[in-house]
Amino acid sequence: MEDLKEWKNNEIWGLEAWKSLCRVRELCPLIQCITNYVSMDIMANTLLAAGASPAMVHAVEEIADFTPHAKGLCINIGTLTPDWTVSMKAAAAKAAESQKPWVLDPVAAGASTYRMERCLELVDLKPTVIRGNASEILALAGASIGSTKGVDSSHVSTDALEAAKELACRTQAVVAVSGAVDLVTDGERVLGVSNGVPLMQKITATGCAVTALIAAFVALQPNLALEATCFALAVFGMAGEIGMEKANGPASLRMHLIDALYGLDKESVLSKINISKYD
């Protein structure tokens, strides 16, 4: 892959994103997901449509046997319980021991003391990528978040840029902040991904789904986690744009998005991708 400094246009971004998607389709990486009840269906279907293999394995008794065989791990704390916290921490530790990348989705971080404490414990286990909305990233970075709206953000992505950079430097993780423009940083470089449509926000768990997709892309390019994260965000956003051409509302967009992800071709990726350096 070319040095990031030489990437000057979306044609090159598109070619690299297409190669990454083809790699997922060819290698069908097994992605273990410990996630919330709300997101399991769309997360599994998103991974399948992209060419990956989802496994919703959350029993702590299975972690030692299963996690080392997965290519990547996605942990989502949406419907957090004490039992699942044990599984999440065990899986994250086993992934690190097995040198497998893992992605954390800190859903509603800061909404309660219990949730924040569990998030911080997981962050200490060194995720490869942390993806959340602006309010979640601000909370994890220790900034004041003000009012929250359940699992939704009360901030735009740019509000959390400095917090994301600080969090990335402190944790050595790539941090992705979702919004109208998704911002992705390793603490030094910042990239913006501008694919997607507003109606995707009206479908529950689309954020959870794209976190799982990030896990699939990063699983096959762990040394290029920043770029792989951007490619996953862009591919999912492009599928939303294509799906929107046929959708009449959130329910039909959900269906058409998954269909579009399954059928996404090189021409569409090259013409629709919108990634840029963010200053």
Q: What is the pLDDT of residue 155?
A: 64
β-bridge pairing 129-133 and 72-76? unpaired
Q: Which amino acid is at 118?
A: R
Give residue for tokens 């290519």: 71
Query: Mean pLDDT, to the nearest integer, of 225-236?
Result: 98
What distance in Å separates the CA atoms of residue 217 and residue 232, rounded to the nearest whole number? 6
Number of structural domains found in the chain: 1
User: What is the rounded average pLDDT for all residues in the chain?
Assistant: 93
Domain that holds residue 98: 4-274
Residue 17 located in a structural domain: yes
Residue 279 located in a structural domain: no
Instruction: Report the CATH number at residue 211.
Output: 3.40.1190.20
Q: Please give the structure tokens belonging to residue 110.
A: 């800061």
Residue 37 located in a structural domain: yes
Q: Which of the four pLDDT bands, split at 50, 70 and 90, describes residue 278? A: confident
- Could you give the percent of the chain with pLDDT greater than 90? 87
Residue 11 located in a structural domain: yes
Residue 41 located in a structural domain: yes
Residue 236 located in a structural domain: yes
What distance in Å separates the CA atoms of residue 37 and residue 133, rounded to the nearest whole number? 19
Residue 225 located in a structural domain: yes
What distance in Å separates the CA atoms of residue 113 and residue 47, rounded to the nearest whole number? 32
pLDDT digits (tens, 9 = 90+) for 138-192: 999 985 444 444 444 456 668 889 999 999 999 999 999 999 999 999 999 999 9
Burial class (CB in 10 A: 0-12, 13-18, 19+), 133: buried
